[in-house]
Amino acid sequence: MEKVVQKKNLLPQVLELIRHSLHTIQYGYLILTVQDGYVIKMERTEKFIFSSKNKTGYIKGDIPTGQHSFQAKIIAQLQGLMYGQLIIRIEDGKVAQIEKTEKRRINEYEGTHGDGI
């Protein structure tokens, strides 16, 4: 098994769920919500598209145990993200898009009369 480089606040359970989802979802989304630099929630939306293209079935029994090829890229995108979301779109079992939405907390600004924004 390959060694996974991880951020200190990325829990092993989170890594396991990301890896499992990347190996099993054929069509859908993974949405990772980050607060205070920690992944606090993962939403998994999976679609099943019935077509003659899928000849292997939809249930995977032999899920690979190693790291997914995009796992390191996803971890890299989570580095430094304090508040926001990482949305991973999966099509035909492959990562098609990674979208990062970063939110910033601004506490320092005040109006001209000290009344805030």
Q: What's the pLDDT at 80?
A: 84
Residue range(s) defining the domain that contains residue 49: 12-53+62-102
CA distance 15 to 10: 7
Q: What are phi and psi of 37, to 5 degrees?
A: 80, 0
Position 6 in a domain? no
Q: What is the pLDDT of residues 18-28, one digit of tens each?
A: 999 998 898 99
Q: What's the pLDDT at 28?
A: 95
CA distance 24 to 6: 22
Report which of residues 85 and 48 the model is more confident about: 85
Position 27 in a domain? yes
Q: What's the pLDDT at 31?
A: 97
pTM of the full predicted structure? 0.74
Q: What is the pLDDT of residues 46-60, one digit of tens each?
A: 998 887 766 666 666
3-state class (DSSP) for residue 78: helix
Position 113 in a domain? no
Specify the DSSP class assigned to residue 25: -
Q: What's the pLDDT at 2?
A: 43
Position 107 in a domain? no
What's the structural domain count of the chain? 1
Position 93 in a domain? yes
